[in-house]
Amino acid sequence: GAGVSQTPSNKVTEKGKYVELRCDPISGHTALYWYRQSLGQGPEFLIYFQGTGAADDSGLPNDRFFAVRPEGSVSTLKIQRTERGDSAVYLCASRLAGGDTQYFGPGTRLTVL
């Protein structure tokens, strides 16, 4: 079946601009996660949704970052006033209710010039 999909695959923006990154989880997966991966590092947790609500947003670095999942399926990560330090690969993962395994999408590479 289809895996987690993320769009766009690459995004180049200028410092100060607003960006939106989209994640389509595996159909039927109720849990959705956003992670950020910098070059040469492992992914770092940002936020976790159970259904429509954010169950844990403790990884969001500051209030420029926000994520939504209005219908409990697709999620959008929103970054305001982007900074060069936001450049990274943003990964989305989803998990089936009652399961443990998080399945990752291919990521969106964000470059802030």
Partner 1 sequence: GENVGLHLPTLSVQEGDNSIINCAYSNSASDYFIWYKQESGKGPQFIIDIRSNMDKRQGQRVTVLLNKTVKHLSLQIAATQPGDSAVYFCAEKDNTDKLIFGTGTRLQVFP
45 binds partner 1 (CB under 8 A): yes
Query: How many whole angstroms separate alpha carbon 64 and alpha carbon 25?
Result: 24
84 binds partner 1 (CB under 8 A): no
105 binds partner 1 (CB under 8 A): yes
Q: By the 8 A CB rule, do 90 and 35 touch?
A: yes
Neighbours of 68 (CB within 10 A): 14
Amino acid code (one letter) for 74:
V
56 binds partner 1 (CB under 8 A): yes
Given the rule CB under 8 A, which residues bind partner 1? Answer: 4, 31, 33, 35, 37, 39-45, 48, 55-56, 59, 88-89, 91, 100-107, 109
